[in-house]
Amino acid sequence: MIRRTVQIENKLGLHARAAAKLVKLTCQFDSDIKLARQDTQQQVDGKSILGILLLAAAQGTKIQFVIKGSDEEKAMKAIVTLVKERFGEAK
């Protein structure tokens, strides 16, 4: 199991389009992927768009990813890259 905390940097936060991109990515991996807001500890399934939207993660929110499974390293790398690249949105 691996954990990593990242900050949501894109202007609109983890909104519908960004959440859809995240779910599309996480569903490509066999590992169990969980997300949790660092401030509230609210945890959701990383493969559930509704769960991710319920986090209401605005710009600046810190999210901890917890990944467990056979492809956890590969999944974490891909997820962190997506978040760091602001889900493909402009600054």
Q: Is residue 33 part of a domain?
A: yes
Q: Is residue 6 part of a domain?
A: yes
Domain limits at 8? 2-85
Report whether 26 contacts 14 (CB < 8 A): no
- Global pTM value: 0.94
Residue of 69, 70, 89, 68 lying closest to 22 (CA atoms): 89
Under DSSP, is residue 56 helix (H, G, I), strand (E, B) or coil?
A: coil
Which candidate in 6, 14, 15, 57 is catalytic?
Answer: 15
Catalytic-residue membership of 88: no
Q: Is residue 36 part of a domain?
A: yes
State the 10-residue block means of pLDDT for the chain, 91 residues long.
97 95 98 97 97 96 98 98 93 67
Q: Count of CB atoms within 10 A of residue 41's CB?
A: 8
* pLDDT for the residue numbered 90: 76
CATH code of the domain containing 29: 3.30.1340.10
Q: How many domains is the chain partitioned into structurally?
A: 1
* pLDDT for the residue numbered 16: 96
